[in-house]
Structure 1
Amino acid sequence: ALLKGCRCLEIDCWDGHNNEPIVYHGHTLTSKIPFRSVIHVIDKYAFAVRIDTYHMSSEASTKSVNMESMNHTLKIITCYDICSLPYGYCDIGNSYFILPQLRALKHKVLIKNKKVGTHDQSMLRMEEDYRGEAEEVSDSDAQSDDDDDREDESPHRSRSPSKRRGDYRSSPLPHKRSKLRKTKVALALSDLVVYTKSQKFVSFEYSQQHQQCYENNSIGESQARKLLKVSAKDFISHTTRFITRIYPKGSRMSSSNYNPQDFWNVGCQMVALNFQTSGIYMELQDGKFLDNGGCGYVLKPEFLRDRNTTFTPRNVGAYSKPMSLSIRLISGHQLPPSAMSKTNKADPTVQIEIYGVPEDQTRKRSSVVKSNALSPKWNETFSFNIQVPELAMIRFCVEDEVSLVNKEFLGQYTLPVLSLNTG
């Protein structure tokens, strides 16, 4: 994942023997790896391809003594700077806190975790010996993502007939009554958290009133999909203010993936996928971040950064900048042979797919060239009208038509529409 340019990894930490934390997917049969070994690998590869900021998300279900060990391991193994002070920080008591530009954090590692107290209190503790100390932080134990999976994913909504693109209206989602849960966090690990403090997501309204710019939310895939349906405008307003991470639902036992495009459309900065599972959704991920030199970061369109935006994926309104795209499919060369064909010669066909806002999503297929994988020729032209090219992705998928209902994947290439060269 790191060699492919991934800039954020989640590390699920649990108690191990002799106060040495281990990493594995909790309550499953996955292999258990020493935390120290994981950090050695990250230290070797985090900046091997790109020098841009690397985010390390720590999910620590461990005792405070193991958190202390995690802090010690991070400091003695990583040869890169862990960002433990606000950029330009010079005055304790200065409540004016701003986020730095990304280039100011090159070669920096940002730790995402729960945090005890304020940044000022962390600064004061640096002069003290607080080894082994921990404090409790309160967390609202709201509904889990697995609970969301069991609920109806189609909440009641009414559709206005006057809206051509389907502007859905409904009341906000009800929240289950939360119970107070307290977690102990080692001060040593807490003080490494600066710009990426974990903050439980309650509601968009709560975040707007109480959340700080350095507090980040993680929202489960199922809950996020419901929020998309009933309050896309509020979702976009939220992501203009706070870093928002979407993660796969717990029922994906086979490490399958979901469509990340839905959440890119509302400005989510981190859409977490299972990199070990190949397929169309990882291909979209790889194509999305080909842009900007493949550094792992791309700038969101202006209408997803403007706090006063009225854009929603289903009602693009004045933000539509229609683009007419014409693709001429000429020929192919040395396609791989078919493993399913009796003659071992592919009957290639190409499907061109557009991903983006719902109005832009479409696909078109070429004719089939019989028994010619060496140099198939099509000479066909396909036309697409794209309303929001800033969010659109194009995917070329080559398949062997084994039968009318069975096609074998031969290869693909995905990239942002605006990265296409003319000619």
Structure 2
Amino acid sequence: MTFEGFFRYMESKDCSVFDLTHCAVYQDMDQPLNNYFISSSHNTYLTGDQLVGKSDLDAYVSALRKGCRCLEIDCWDGSDQEPIVYHGYTLTSKILFKDVITTIEKHAFEVSAYPVVLSLENHCCQEQQEVMAQHLTSILGDKLLTAGLDQMTAEELPSPNKKVKVAQRLSDLVVYTRSVKFVSFSHSKENQSYFENTSMAEKKAHKLAKNSGADFVKHNQRFISRIYPRGARIISSNYNPQEFWNVGAQLVALNFQSGGTPMDLNDGRFQDNGGCGYTLKPAILMSSRAFDPGCSHSSLKPIYLHLKVIGGANLPAPKTKAQEVFVRVEICGIPADSIKTSTKSIKNLLNPHWDAEMNFTIKAPELCLLRFCVRNQTGLTSEFVAQYTLPFTSLKKGYRWVPLRNREGCSLDPASLYVHVWY
């Protein structure tokens, strides 16, 4: 191989740090729905903030094309007996419910063949609820799940493979995702049916994950939990989804319109398994043995990761006055595994060379995500330049090419990093 040929190989997908066999669906898709992490969106209709932002059908298209499999629709009474969708009691713009359903019907299965869950926040009167039901049945047709599927076990949710349908929570159309109020883990164990799920704001979920992690894990082995951002996030910011994946929550809903670390983690998590929006929860979360992500986990067998950040190529220019560029490497997992470390900062902004070696001890690698973030040092602070995030389980060993992305998760080709990975 000539030097030019070798160079072309080193910056090709064949040399990617991401395992290319994971670009197709490879996981077992015949397990119950509660055994999967499911890519989920909060207030999917919004393209901006929660108070005066625009509601747009394109927001649903964008989320679906990112592999999102759980969409939220806030429904309110509209004029002429046509329900509308917007963030109630705010100045966000309004769109028709029937147009939302038509958009979803058109784009639901463009990038993934697996089920879409429509999470309805229903504020409509009885008459307009009936209009909603009519639109759902007439527009979605045989894509709408209206009756239970034949199952081997009556007390078990179907698998994503069972039937390609759109699940819906409205009146008699409810089948597998009926929403009930969460009281306590013991109350759910005694009273909650397998086809019922609970939704809770991040603050309550955080408290439960911190104080009752093992019970939360057990709860999510049987039931589906949906976590959503607190109401105070009026600029549509996001929480760290990793905390709730650590306890096995399936529907960890984020504001897809807001770029940043939380959405990078979400994109990285669901890049796996062919980008289908469903990834199988690791065995550590499904075991009969108690697992609390907040504990020390001395019983777990750790993995030792050696990472060398060699250099970068064709990096995008920083937005502000350029000074020095560095790479921050972040391990995101259970608290014992979560750590950040950085290369030194250097002045070569286009094709920097760091040769920085890093070592990590990871106790629960099957839950971990690895994030490379290129940043520009601007005095006492630094600004985002580019990033790439992937699951540890999709990490390839050896000398590898890291294809960088922007804040919105789009490719910055040919911008890249070169690294050496061993574990």
Q: Report the equivalent of 2:37.
A: none
Moved more, 277-286 or 72-81: 72-81
Q: Out of 295, 303, 306, which is 1:326 matched to?
A: 306
**8 Å Cα contact 1:267/1:304 also seen in 2:** yes
Structure 1 outlier segments of 4+, above 4 Å: none
Give the whole-Å Cα distance in 2 for the aligned partners of 1:80 and 1:353.
44
Aligned position for 2:272 = 291
Equivalences for residues 161-310 of structure 1 within 5 A: 190-306=171-287, 308-310=288-290
Aligned AA (1:359): A
**Aligned equivalents of 2:106, 2:301: Cα separation in 1:** 43
Q: How many pairs align?
A: 336
Per-residue deviation at 1:233? Answer: 1.5
Counterpart for residue 139 of structure 2: 77
The residue aligned with 1:161 is none
| Equivalence map 1:311-390=2 (5 Å) | 311-315=291-295, 317=297, 320-341=300-321, 345=322, 347-370=324-347, 372-390=348-366
Contact 1:332–1:374 under 8 Å retained in 2: yes
Aligned equivalent of 1:35, options 71, 94, 97? 97
In our comparison, the structure showing a higher alpha carbon Rg is: 1
1:293 Cα offset (Å): 1.1
Unaligned stretches of 5+ residues in structure 1: 114-189
User: Once the 2 structures are TM-superposed, how far is the Cα of residue 373 of structure 1 from its aligned partner?
Assistant: 2.4
Paired residues of 1:333 and 1:375 also in contact (CA < 8 A):
yes
Match of 2:10 in 1: none
Higher RCO (Cα < 8 Å, 6 or more apart): 2
Query: Alpha-carbon deviation of 1:318?
Result: 6.3
* Correspondence list, 1:131-170, <5 A: none
**Number of the residue aligned with 1:417:** 392
Q: Aligned residue for 1:104?
A: 162
Shift of 1:255: 1.0
3-state SS in 2 of match to 1:326: strand
Q: Provide the residue aligned with 2:374 in structure 1.
A: 398
Using the alignment, how far apart are the partners of 1:89 and 1:258 within structure 2? 36
1:57 to 110, 115, 119: 119
Read off the aligned partner of 1:238 and give its amino acid letter. Answer: H
The Cα of 1:321 is off from its aligned counterpart by 2.8
Displacement of 1:205 after TM fit? 0.8
**How far off its partner does 1:316 sit?**
5.3
Q: CA deviation at 1:82?
A: 0.8
Q: Which runs of 5+ in 2 are unaligned?
A: 1-62, 399-423
Q: Which residue of 2 aligns with 1:120?
A: none
Residue 97 of structure 1, CA deviation: 4.5
1:330-359 CA-to-partner distances (Å, cap 9, x unmatched) read 111111112211xxx552100001111111
Query: Offset of 1:215 from its aligned partner?
Result: 0.5
Contact 2:296/2:336, CA 8 A, preserved across alignment: no
Instruction: Provide TM-score, normalisation by structure 1.
Output: 0.77
CA contact (8 A) 1:352 1:365 kept: yes
Q: Is the 8 A contact 2:71 2:117 kept in 1?
A: yes
Alignment-mate amino acid for residue 112 of structure 1: R
1:352 touches 1:396 (CA, 8 Å); kept in 2? Answer: yes
**AA partner of residue 410 (structure 1):** V
- Aligned partners of 1:21 and 1:69 also within 8 Å: yes
Q: Is the 8 A contact 1:5 1:49 kept in 2?
A: yes
Distance verdict in 2 for CA 1:358–1:89, change over 3 Å: closer
**How big is the shift at 1:78?**
2.1
**8 Å CA contact 1:333, 1:373 repeated in 2:** no
RMSD after superposition: 1.7
User: Are residues 347 and 55 of structure 1, via their aligned partners in 2, closer, same or farther at CA, if it must alter by over 3 Å?
Assistant: same
Sort the Cα spacing of 1:319 and 1:79 in 2 relative to 1 into closer, same or farther, 3 A: farther
